[in-house]
């Protein structure tokens, strides 16, 4: 049997590692100013969100969760449970770290929605754009994070800024997909009815398509938030602060208790945010109906 | 259609089982805790395992904590570069016989706080003027917090620290406090070794000032011109309080006890395995310059230093390796 049949032929080889390395080195050396600008902008936003989050006193946050849960689910027991779980995060000494984590999540989610929602609307109108964007979204979700985290650190420095960028890359696809999906699903007859009443394209979009697609879009928002939370530990490996770095310290020192405590806090945060946003999505459905 | 799928599944499963079966034959498993000098030493030992002892070997990677625990459990058999001071339970484990310390790989390494040379002396070729000509010691850092600003906390400086979980991290934190730098600087936990390395490389390529913990031998300290900030001379009692320079750490070769009993000849070689910081740096520099992988570097290294084979191996085995090279 010829060699090339059983083994991959050595003649077919292309080195793509070196050009990528060179490109990154070039970017670090020559585009430093541009990336410093990006970095400063993101940092300003982060500091602003941090200030905003830190203004909320602990009891106000617990009270808000209590009231919102009561309103969206209408069940007192559930509202008490979530308020109690949140209180538990404080009791195990992780309240401030939770705020640091929330800062990163909130910043990343705001930016993901700002970028992802318009993109989703855009690709819902064009099949060609949709075909082009889809593999990009797939790449964003499947490329192992550390692959782009390390160049991001070289360009933007260590800390919360590259963490936000990494989180956006991972968390943005759901809102793009679900927005596009939701708008495409709107009944043709509804659209035609609106058009026959003489609505402009903008009116059609804002008064018919988006409201009709709202439940699907809210499901996308919910998924985006959940994916942002799932990046918390990965981000701590590039110096992001908060619960993730507490988990990492627990792992690095083989202190299982420390890891579990912080991990539990992440789970609590995730469950509460998930149920609340789902509640809003359902509320949106009732409203639309 | 369905039958075909099932047939494919069967073929795949049996292929995978064959793969697993071949991997489970007695192979020596080397621990790879993630840094390159260790991977290089693994590659050298693996080359010798194959050529001199006809042993198959493989590497298993993970964090220090996880691979070290696997060494104790026997999932990993060999650790070629154990940073004894970085692993808190090490002394106890050796005393209890949970792992066996075969010998010292090398013990002339350095670690501490580094700044790029251009920070102190400037670099004419890159148009960098000296930023801190009088910065020599760790204590001098108190004059320069403005030079190393923390972007997330303006007004304070930033020191890139060691990786949490390494014992030296605690020592570095105490050092920052001892020199009164904690009110001027934030000591930053970089999260992981690659992130710390990327931060240093990024700053260096841009020509930005940075002060960071690192160690030698490593490709970073080999490739980039970094200056170790001086500290008080090493004293055993002061070291753990962070009040003096870090001593050279004993980097040992360790094996799992069961592996030790089953492979006396190979462990005999491992116990004689000894290199130095200079030799390791030389190999890592070669690897970086020629874009070689670890096995290629190990091959080149043994060609360059055939005398090591005579120190490590009995005559006949050394000859086997030499002829393979």
Same domain, B121 and B100: no
A146–chain B Cβ distance below 8 A for any pair: yes
pLDDT at B16: 64
| Structural domain includes residue B193 | yes
Burial class (CB in 10 A: 0-12, 13-18, 19+), A184: middle
pLDDT at A269: 94
Q: How many independent structural domains does chain B possess?
A: 2
| Helical H segments across chain B, by residue range | 2-24, 36-53, 64-73, 90-95, 117-121, 167-178, 193-206, 219-223, 236-239, 257-262, 264-272, 277-290, 294-304, 306-312, 315-324
| Structural domain includes residue B260 | yes
Of A46, A155, A245, the CB nearest to B202: A155
A20–chain B Cβ distance below 8 A for any pair: no
| Structural domain includes residue B179 | yes
| Structural domain includes residue B2 | no
Confidence band of A102 (pLDDT split at 50, 70, 90): very high
How many pairs of residues across A and B have Cβ atoms under 8 Å apart? 90
Same domain, B119 and B228: yes
In the β-sheet with B157-160, what is the strand arrangement from edge to edge?
B185-188, B157-160, B212-216, B110-116, B226-228
CA distance B283 to B293: 11
Residue A145, C-beta contacts closer than 8 angstroms, at least 6 positions apart = A166, A169, A170, A231, A234
Report the residue count for chain A: 289
Give the DSSP H/E element, type plus range, for residue A231.
none
Determine the average pLDDT of the residues in B280-287: 87
Nearest-CA residue of chain B relative to A160? Answer: B152
pLDDT at A201: 85
B20 has a pLDDT exceeding 60? no
Q: Are A140 and A171 in contact (CB under 8 A)?
A: no
Same domain, B202 and B273: no
CA distance B14 to B173: 53
Scanning A33-52 for CB atoms below 8 A from B yields 39-40, 43, 46-47
Nearest-CA residue of chain A relative to B126? Answer: A29
Question: Does the predicted interface ipTM exceed a cut of 0.85?
Answer: no
Same domain, B147 and B213: yes
Angle A76-91/A256-288 helices, nearest 10 degrees? 150
Q: What is the pTM of this model?
A: 0.77
| Partners of B185 in the β-ladder | B157
Same domain, B143 and B213: yes
Same domain, B119 and B169: yes
pLDDT at B17: 59
A25–chain B Cβ distance below 8 A for any pair: yes
Burial class (CB in 10 A: 0-12, 13-18, 19+), A74: exposed
B224 has a pLDDT exceeding 80? yes
CA distance B42 to B186: 36
Contacts of A256 in chain B (CB under 8 A): none
Contacts of B201 in chain A (CB under 8 A): 28, 154
Same domain, B300 and B229: no
How many CB atoms neighbour CB A254 within 10 A?
Answer: 18
Same domain, B117 and B103: no
Give the DSSP H/E element, type plus range, for residue A208.
none
Contacts of B196 in chain A (CB under 8 A): 158
Contact A240 B191 (CB under 8 A): yes
Q: Give the DSSP letter of residue A57.
A: -
Q: Are B251 and B198 in contact (CB under 8 A)?
A: no
Distances in Å between the Cα of B287 and the Cα atoms of B2, B102, B110, B139, B273 are 51, 27, 21, 35, 21
| Structural domain includes residue B5 | no
Same domain, B226 and B124: yes
Q: How far is B105 from chain A (nearest CA, A)?
A: 24
Confidence band of B24 (pLDDT split at 50, 70, 90): very low
Domain enclosing residue B291, as ranges? 29-108+249-324
B324 has a pLDDT exceeding 90? no
| Partners of B253 in the β-ladder | B103
What CATH number is associated with residue B275? 3.40.190.10
Same domain, B119 and B103: no
Contacts of B202 in chain A (CB under 8 A): 28, 153-155, 157
How many CB atoms neighbour CB A14 within 10 A?
Answer: 6
pLDDT at A11: 83
Side-chain-side CA neighbours of A201 within 13 Å: the count stands at 3
- pLDDT averaged over every residue in chain B: 87
pLDDT at A277: 87
Q: How far is A40 from chain B (nearest CA, A)?
A: 8
Of B165, B188, B205, the CB nearest to A253: B165
| Residue-wise pLDDT tens digits, A106-141 | 999 999 999 999 999 999 988 899 999 999 999 999
A285 has a pLDDT exceeding 50? no
| Residue-wise pLDDT tens digits, B117-135 | 999 999 888 888 899 999 9
Same domain, B154 and B197: yes
What CATH number is associated with residue B125? 3.40.190.100
- pLDDT averaged over every residue in chain A: 89
| Residue-wise pLDDT tens digits, B149-163 | 998 888 899 999 998
Of B65, B69, B199, the CB nearest to A252: B65
A26–chain B Cβ distance below 8 A for any pair: no
| Residue-wise pLDDT tens digits, A166-197 | 999 999 999 999 999 999 999 888 888 988 88
Domains and CATH numbers, chain A: 26-55+92-288 (1.10.3720.10)
| Partners of B216 in the β-ladder | B110
Per-residue H/E/C for A65-106: HHHHHHHHHCCHHHHHHHHHHHHHHHHCCCHHHHHHHHHHHH
| Residue-wise pLDDT tens digits, B305-321 | 989 999 999 988 888 88
| Structural domain includes residue B291 | yes
Q: Are strands B110-116 and B226-228 parallel, antiparallel or unpaired?
A: antiparallel
pLDDT at B40: 93
């Amino acid at each position: 049997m010829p060699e090339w049949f059983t083994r991959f032929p050595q003649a077919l080889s292309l080195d793509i590692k070196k050009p990528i390395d060179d490109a990154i080195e070039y970017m670090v050396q020559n585009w430093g100013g541009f990336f410093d600008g990006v970095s400063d902008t993101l940092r300003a936003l982060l500091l602003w969100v941090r200030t905003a989050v830190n203004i909320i006193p602990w009891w106000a946050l617990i009270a808000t969760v209590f009231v919102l849960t009561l309103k969206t689910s209408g069940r007192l027991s559930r509202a008490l449970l979530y308020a109690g779980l949140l209180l538990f995060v404080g009791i195990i000494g992780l309240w401030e770290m939770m705020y640091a984590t929330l800062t990163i999540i909130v910043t990343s989610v705001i930016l993901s929605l700002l970028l992802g929602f318009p993109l989703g609307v855009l690709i819902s109108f064009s099949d060609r754009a949709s075909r082009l964007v889809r593999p990009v979204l797939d790449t964003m979700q499947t490329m192992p994070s550390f692959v782009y985290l390390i160049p991001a650190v070289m360009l933007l420095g260590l800390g919360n800024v590259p963490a936000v960028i990494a989180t956006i890359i991972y968390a943005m696809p759901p809102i793009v997909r679900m927005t596009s999906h939701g708008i495409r699903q709107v009944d043709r007859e509804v659209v035609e009815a609106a058009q026959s009443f003489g609505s402009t394209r903008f009116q059609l979009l804002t008064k018919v398509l988006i409201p009709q697609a709202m439940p699907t879009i809210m499901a996308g928002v919910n998924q985006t938030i959940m994916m942002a939370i799932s990046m918390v530990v990965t981000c701590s490996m590039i110096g992001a602060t908060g619960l993730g770095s507490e988990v990492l310290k627990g792992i690095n020192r083989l202190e299982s208790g420390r890891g579990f405590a912080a991990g539990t806090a992440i789970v609590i945060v995730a469950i509460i945010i998930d149920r609340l946003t789902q509640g809003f999505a359902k509320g949106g459905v009732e409203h639309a109906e | 259609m369905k039958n075909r799928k099932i047939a494919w599944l069967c073929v795949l499963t049996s292929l995978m089982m064959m793969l697993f079966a071949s991997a489970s034959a007695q192979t020596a498993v080397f621990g790879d805790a993630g840094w390159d000098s260790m991977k290089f030493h693994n590659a050298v030992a693996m080359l010798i395992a194959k050529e001199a002892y006809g042993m198959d070997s493989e590497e298993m990677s993970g964090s220090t904590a996880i691979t070290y625990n696997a060494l104790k459990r026997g999932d990993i058999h060999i650790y070629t570069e154990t940073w004894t001071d970085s692993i808190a339970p090490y002394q106890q484990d050796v005393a209890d016989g949970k792992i066996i310390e075969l010998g010292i790989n090398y013990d002339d390494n350095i670690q501490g706080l580094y700044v790029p040379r251009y920070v102190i002396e400037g670099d004419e070729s890159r148009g960098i003027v000296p930023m801190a000509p009088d910065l020599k010691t760790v204590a001098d850092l108190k004059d320069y917090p403005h030079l190393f600003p923390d972007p997330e906390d303006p007004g304070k400086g930033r020191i890139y620290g060691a990786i949490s979980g390494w014992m030296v991290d605690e020592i570095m934190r105490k050092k920052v406090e001892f020199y009164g730098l904690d009110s001027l600087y934030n000591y930053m936990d970089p999260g992981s070794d690659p992130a710390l390395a990327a931060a240093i490389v990024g700053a260096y390529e841009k020509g930005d000032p940075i002060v960071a913990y690192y160690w030698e031998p490593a490709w970073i300290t080999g490739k980039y011109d970094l200056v170790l900030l001086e500290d008080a001379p090493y004293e055993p009692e002061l070291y753990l309080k962070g009040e003096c320079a870090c001593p050279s750490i004993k980097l040992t070769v360790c094996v799992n006890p069961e592996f030790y009993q089953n492979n006396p000849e190979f462990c005999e070689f491992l116990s004689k395995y000894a290199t130095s910081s200079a030799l390791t740096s030389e190999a890592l520099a070669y690897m970086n310059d020629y874009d070689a992988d670890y096995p290629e570097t190990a091959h080149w290294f043994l060609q360059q230093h055939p005398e090591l084979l005579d120190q490590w191996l009995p005559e006949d085995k050394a000859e086997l390796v030499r002829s393979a090279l």
